[in-house]
Chain A
Amino acid sequence: MSKYLVNKFLYTVDRDHELTERYREDPAGTVAWWEAEEAGRILNCVAAEKTTWLAFTDDERQALSAHDHVALFRMGAHPFLTLTLWIAMFERDFDEPLAMQRDYAARLAHLEPPYPDIGT
């Protein structure tokens, strides 16, 4: 598990409008590019100081590439980060206020507390 890296993907994509749109339109391509080029970037540091050992597991790469927020929840990705990014990408596809958020919850409805550990 590399929950930290999954969270880092969600965090860095959510805070950059261009990346948010790119991830919406091309999830698999964005995940592959990000893991190759951006995963090791320590925020605030120059490229020469990239972390050398960070990588997604196959399951994490697949969940991110498939926009599978249920799988991300099961893995213990931080639910606030996933929700915020999903709102940015998909709220526009629903007509009623909060309809996207309710659909998002309904897809998680089969999951009972205690929820997966989100500690990193």
Chain B
Amino acid sequence: MAQLVAILATTHHPFFYRTSRLPPDEAPPFAAEWVRKVEAYRETLTIARPDVLVMVGSDHFHQLWLDNMPQFLVGKAPYYDGNWENETREFGLPKLLLKGDEELSAYLLREGIDRGFDLAFSNELRIDHSITCPIFTVRPQNDLPIVPIYTNIFAPPLPRPERFVRLGRTIREIIDAWPSDLRVAVIGTGHLSLELGGPRQFGPHGPDPDFDAQAVEWIKNGDIDGCLRNVTLDSLHAPGNATHGFMDFMLMMGIAGSAKADYADNLDLFHTMEPYFTWYPDAGLLPGLSLASKGSLL
């Protein structure tokens, strides 16, 4: 069976790529610390030596539109072009090409449908920064095949938080059952509290630091039940109008299965709290595991 070697849950901040490439005399004061945190986080993936990456993200009205909107979609293609014109314009993100793993895509689709998720699929998917940003941060050499999974956290009506957790658990079951000798890592990105296009956007912190502090605790401790008791589709409006992206973190907690994180870090980055979490489901798959740090939260 395949080996699930690492689970990573973080954000997809589109400013990192450009910020991390600025010369020191042009970089904003937070840049050096941001780069240091990301490089430490990258190590948590590197040491797991994955062969293939399952990438969970959410299309930001790029390819998926309101005339034909799936709730959950799996890419099934041999390649994926990455990034869109308005992402290049706004964030300076370059176009890139990623390899796909069609065998794992097909397996996830077949098994996911049979296990109760009527997954949509795409044979020609241009992925956006929700998936390319974690490539830039944790696998910048872009050398591994991927399976992209898109969730709808953006266009109501949305699936409920419980559904995201259940999909995470189902993805975990499927990967664990995949008849393959490959090492699989899952990388998912979402948001903590976030406001975009509203009065609380781009403030000195995330729009709701109390929510962020609580969310970090839920994730760090694998506290799915506590999270589900407190988070609903309605409640997620209060911390910020884009906070439904937190449900992608809940999906990742579902994959991790109530386990405590093995690496937990964060960065209070003016308008958002940037979280960096990694789980290693089976320490036996990482002989000699030695992270320089477990992050500042553990």
A residues bordering B, Cβ < 8 Å?
A: 4, 7-8, 11, 14-15, 17, 42-43, 73, 78-84, 87-88, 97-98, 101-102, 104-106, 108-111, 113-115, 117-120
Contact = CB atoms under 8 A, between A and B. Distances in A.
A100 to B, nearest CB: 10
A105 B203 CA distance: 9
A109 B201 CA distance: 10
A42 B67 contact: yes
A43 B65 contact: yes
B284 interface: no
A115 B89 CA distance: 29
Contacts of A117: 156
Contact of B237 (A81, A110, A113): A113
B23 to A, nearest CB: 16
State the 4 A-B residue pairs at the shortest beta-carbon distance, nearest first. A79-B197, A83-B197, A108-B199, A119-B156
B120 to A, nearest CB: 15
Contacts, number: 76
Contact of A11 (B28, B65, B201, B237): B65
A115 B241 CA distance: 8
Given A15-B62, A102-B202, A108-B198, 15 more contacts: A7-B66, A17-B89, A79-B196, A80-B60, A80-B197, A82-B197, A83-B197, A97-B28, A108-B199, A109-B199, A110-B199, A113-B238, A114-B237, A115-B198, A118-B156
Given A80-B242, A101-B202, A14 B67 contact: no
Contact of A120 (B66, B198, B201, B241): B66
A110 B90 CA distance: 27
Contacts of A111: 198-199
A67 to B, nearest CB: 15
B211 interface: no
B13 interface: no
